[in-house]
C-alpha cells in the first residue's frame, strides 16, 4: 500500500500503428499539484483520457489509494472521484450556474420536481467553498472564462472529486484570471485534493506545481520536484536536445523598416499604446504570458477588431485598417491561432483554401480559373512539402502540421509585405514544426517583415531576431536575439531578471 493517491504503472496505449504511450508510470499524491509537461504529441492527452476512463490502456495498472481500479469508464472514474476540467467548460450557456451544477450533480428521475431552493443553496455552498464570488443565478454565457472554469471546479468538488485534472486551463485566461485560478488550486491543495496540471507554459509550472513529469514521444522522461529544476533543464528534458541547434539561423541583415505601430491602441481588445517596428527580412518575436494581449494586437492590426487610436505605417505611409479586407489590400497577412476554425476552412479543398485570400488579384473579373488554381496549389504543395493526396483533398483530411502549411500557403499566395503569425506551430508534430521554421526563415530572407507570436519559449528565442515582450496589453521590453529564457520570462512576468 503506497502513499500515493493515484498510481499508474507501465501504461501502454497504441492507436493502430501509432504508439501513444510506451510503458508510462505516473504517480500523484494527495495535496499535491503535479504538472504534466510535454510537447504536442508527447502523449499528455492520451494519458489523461486513460485516467478519466475515456480510453482503456492496452496494458498497465491504475491504482487509487493503493487499490487496483480495474477497467475504467467515464462513469466509474467519476464515481472514484476523478474529474477533468478542459479548456472549453462543458456547461450550458443559456442556463444559470445553479442549474448547471444541479444538472451535473443530480441523477434525478425525469418526473421529479426541481427544488430550486435546494439547487440555489447547493450552488452557493459549493461556490463559497472555493471562494468564487459568482451568483448562482448568473447565466453561464454572461460569465467570463475563468468564472466558468470555477463553476466546473465547483461541480467537480461537489461530485466529491479528489483527483482534479486541469487540461491547459489558462489557455484563454488573462493574467489576473490566471492568478485567481492559481489561488484556488493552492486552496484545493491545502484540502488534500490531488491535481494534475497540464501545460506547456513553463512559467506556470514554476509558479504553481510541486512536482513535474515530462513526457516525450510517449515515454516518461523523468519526475522531479519543481524546486530542484530550472527552465533550461526542463526544456532539455522536453525537447531532448539543445535548444539553439534546432532553429534555422538568420542569414542576412534586416533592411528598411516596413511596418510600424505608434501608440497603437484597441480598447476592446485591451491593447494599450503599442509602439513597434518590423524591418524587411526581420523576424520580430512577440512574447508574453497568455492574456498579455498578443493575439488581440494581431487582430487589431489585421482589422478583426480595429484599433481606435494610434498609427499604423507601411513603408512610411500611414494606413487605416477597418476590416480584414483592408488589411489584405494593404499587404498585411495574418495566420491565426485557431487553425481549424479560422486558419483553414476544413470542408473545402486545399486549392480553394489557398486562393481564398486572393480572389481579387488571382481571379480578375470574378471568373474562377480552375487550372491556374490547381497549378498554384501544386506549387505550394511541392514548395512547402505538404503531404496531401492532391489539391482537391479537403483540408480536413490533413494532419495539423499540413493544415498549418495550407494556412501559410494561403497568405504566401497573397504576396504580403507583412506577415503576422500567431502560434504557427501549435499542435504541429515535431517534423512539420522544423519545416515550418525553415519556411518562415526563408520568407524573412526574401524580404518579408515577420511578426511572430508564440508561447513556446524555445521557439521564440530560437527564431526571433528581436523579441518584443508584451504584458497587460502593451510592450514592456525589447530584447535582443538569443536572449536567455529566464530573461524573457522575467520580462513577461514583469519582474527584473537576476543580473539586470
Partner 1 sequence: MRKYFRELSVTGALTLLLLALAIFAPSFYSPQPLLSLAANASVSLVVACGMALVIIAREIDISVGSMFAVCSVCAGLLAAMHWPLAAVIAATILIGAIFGGFNGGLVAGLGLPSIVVTLATMVTWREGLQWLRQGQFVNLPDGVQWFGLSQKSGQWTLVIGALVILVLMALMMKHLSAGRYIYAVGSDAEVARLAGIPPKLTVFLVFVGIGALVGLAAIMNMVQSPQVDPQSGTGMELKVIAAVVVGGVAISGGRGNLWGVFVGLLLLVCVGPALIHLHIEAYWEKAIQGVIILLAVVAEGLRR
Partner 2 sequence: MNTHKPAWKNVLLAHETILLVVLIAEWIFFDAIGRNFGTYDNTCDILRHSCEIGLLALAMTPVILTGGIDLSVGSLLGLCAILFGKFWRDAHMPIPEAAACTLAVGALAGGVNASLITLLNLPPLIVTLGTFSLFRGLAEAITHGVDTFTDFPSSFLFLGQERWLGIPAQAPVFIGALIFFWWLVHFSTFGRSYRAIGFAPEGTRYAGIPVGRRVAMTYVLAGIVSAIAAIIYTARLGQAKADAGNGYELYAITAVVLGGTSIFGGIGSVYGTLLGVAAIAVLQSGIVHALQPSEMAGMLTGALLILALTASVLPKMISRLRQRKSALRLAKQNT
Which of 1, 17, 71, 110 is the binder for partner 1 (CB under 8 A)? 110
Does position 3 bind partner 1 by CB under 8 A? no
Whole-angstrom Cα distance, residue 250 to residue 465?
8
> 13-72: which residues touch partner 2 (CB under 8 A)?
56, 58
Judged by CB under 8 A, does residue 93 bind partner 1?
Answer: yes
Q: Mutual orientation of helices 145-158 and 116-129 as an angle, nearest 10°?
A: 100
C-alpha cell recorded at residue 213: 513529469
Instruction: Determine which residue in the list 393, 481, 493, 497 makes contact with partner 2, applying CB under 8 A.
Output: 393
Q: What's the Rg (C-alpha) of the chain?
A: 24
Query: Among partner 2, partner 1, none, what binds residue 51 when CB lies within 5 to 8 Å by partner kind?
Result: none
CA distance 103 to 341: 30
Closest CA to 293 of 260, 268, 314: 268
Which triple of cell numbers denotes residue 359?
480572389
Q: Which stretch binds partner 1 (CB under 8 A): 20-28, 112-120, 286-294, 297-305?
A: 112-120
| Beta-bridge partners for 83 | 164
**Nearer residue to partner 2 within complex by CB, 76 or 348:** 348
C-alpha cell at 330: 494593404
Q: In the structure grid, which three cell numbers stand for residue 437, read together? A: 521554421
Q: Round to whole Å and give the CA distance between 201 and 169.
A: 11
Closest to partner 2 by CB, 17 vs 498, is 17
The distance of closest approach from Cβ of residue 304 to partner 2 in the complex, given in angstroms and rounded to an integer, is: 7
Largest CA distance in the chain: 76
User: Which of partner 1, partner 2, none binds 327 (CB below 5-8 Å, type-dependent)?
Assistant: partner 2
Residue placing its CB nearer to partner 1 in the complex, 114 or 233: 114
Distance CA 231, CA 37 (A): 12
Segment interacting with partner 1, rule: CB under 8 A, options 87-95, 234-242, 263-271, 490-498 = 87-95
SS3 384: coil
Q: What residue 316 binds from partner 2, partner 1, none (CB within 5 to 8 A, per partner kind)?
A: none
Q: Out of 30, 103, 246, 356, point to the residue binding partner 1 (CB under 8 A).
A: 103
Q: Which of residues 130-159 bind partner 1 (CB under 8 A)?
A: 137, 139
Round to whole Å and give the CA distance between 325 and 469: 28
Residues 309-328 within binding reach of partner 2 (CB under 8 A): 323-325, 327-328
Among 144, 389, 442, 495, binds partner 2 (CB under 8 A): 389
Place of cell 487605416: 320
Binding flag, residue 481, partner 1 (CB under 8 A): no
Name the minimum Å distance from CB 113 to partner 1. Answer: 6
Nearest Cα residue to 264 out of 411, 463, 451: 451
Tell me which residues touch partner 2 (CB under 8 A).
Answer: 56, 58, 304, 323-325, 327-328, 334, 336, 341-349, 352, 356-357, 359-360, 363, 366-368, 387-389, 392-394, 397-399, 410
Amino acid at each position: 500500500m503506497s502513499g500515493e493517491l493515484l498510481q499508474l504503472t507501465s501504461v501502454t496505449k497504441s492507436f493502430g500503428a501509432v504508439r501513444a504511450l510506451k510503458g508510462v508510470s505516473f504517480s500523484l499524491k494527495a495535496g499535491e499539484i503535479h504538472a504534466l509537461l510535454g510537447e504536442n504529441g508527447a502523449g499528455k492527452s492520451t494519458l489523461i483520457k486513460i485516467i478519466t476512463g475515456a480510453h482503456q490502456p492496452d496494458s498497465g495498472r491504475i491504482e487509487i489509494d493503493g487499490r487496483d481500479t480495474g477497467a475504467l469508464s467515464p462513469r466509474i472514474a467519476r464515481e472514484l472521484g476523478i474529474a477533468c476540467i478542459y479548456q472549453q467548460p462543458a456547461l450550458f450557456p443559456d442556463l444559470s450556474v445553479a442549474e448547471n451544477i444541479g444538472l451535473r450533480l443530480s441523477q434525478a428521475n425525469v418526473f421529479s420536481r426541481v427544488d430550486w431552493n435546494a439547487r440555489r443553496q447547493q450552488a452557493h455552498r459549493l461556490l463559497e467553498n472555493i471562494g468564487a464570488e459568482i451568483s448562482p443565478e448568473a447565466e453561464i454565457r454572461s460569465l467570463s472564462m475563468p468564472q466558468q472554469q470555477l463553476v466546473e471546479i465547483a461541480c467537480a468538488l461537489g461530485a466529491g472529486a479528489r483527483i482534479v485534472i486541469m487540461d491547459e486551463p489558462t489557455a484563454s485566461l488573462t493574467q489576473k484570471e490566471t492568478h485567481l485560478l492559481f489561488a484556488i488550486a493552492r486552496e484545493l491543495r491545502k484540502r488534500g485534493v490531488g491535481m494534475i496540471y497540464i501545460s506547456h507554459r513553463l512559467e506556470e509550472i514554476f509558479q504553481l506545481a510541486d512536482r513535474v513529469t515530462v513526457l516525450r514521444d510517449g515515454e516518461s522522461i523523468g519526475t522531479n520536484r519543481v524546486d530542484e529544476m530550472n527552465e533550461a533543464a526542463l526544456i532539455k528534458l522536453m525537447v531532448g536536445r539543445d535548444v539553439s541547434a534546432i532553429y534555422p539561423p538568420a542569414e542576412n541583415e534586416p533592411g528598411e523598416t516596413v511596418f510600424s505601430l505608434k501608440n497603437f491602441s484597441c480598447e476592446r481588445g485591451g491593447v494599450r499604446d503599442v509602439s513597434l517596428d518590423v524591418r524587411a527580412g526581420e523576424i520580430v518575436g512577440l512574447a508574453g504570458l497568455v492574456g498579455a494581449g498578443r493575439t488581440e494586437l494581431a487582430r487589431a492590426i489585421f482589422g478583426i477588431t480595429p484599433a481606435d487610436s494610434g498609427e499604423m505605417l507601411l513603408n512610411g505611409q500611414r494606413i487605416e485598417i477597418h476590416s480584414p479586407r483592408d488589411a489584405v489590400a494593404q499587404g498585411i497577412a495574418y495566420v491565426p491561432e485557431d487553425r481549424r476554425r479560422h486558419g483553414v476552412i476544413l470542408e473545402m479543398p486545399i486549392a480553394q483554401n489557398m486562393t481564398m485570400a486572393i480572389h481579387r488579384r488571382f481571379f480578375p473579373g470574378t471568373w474562377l480559373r480552375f487550372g491556374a488554381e490547381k497549378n498554384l496549389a501544386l506549387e505550394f504543395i511541392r514548395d512547402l512539402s505538404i503531404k496531401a493526396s492532391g489539391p482537391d483533398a479537403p483540408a480536413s483530411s490533413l494532419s495539423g502540421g499540413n493544415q498549418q502549411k495550407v494556412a501559410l500557403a494561403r497568405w504566401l499566395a497573397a504576396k504580403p509585405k507583412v506577415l503576422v503569425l500567431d502560434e504557427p506551430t501549435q499542435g504541429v508534430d515535431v517534423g512539420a514544426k522544423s519545416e515550418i521554421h525553415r519556411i518562415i526563415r526563408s520568407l524573412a530572407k526574401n524580404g518579408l517583415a515577420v511578426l511572430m507570436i508564440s508561447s513556446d519559449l524555445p521557439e521564440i528565442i530560437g527564431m526571433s531576431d528581436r523579441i518584443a515582450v508584451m504584458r497587460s496589453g502593451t510592450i514592456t521590453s525589447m530584447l535582443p536575439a538569443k536572449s536567455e529564457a529566464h530573461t524573457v520570462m522575467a520580462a513577461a512576468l514583469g519582474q527584473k531578471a537576476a543580473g539586470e
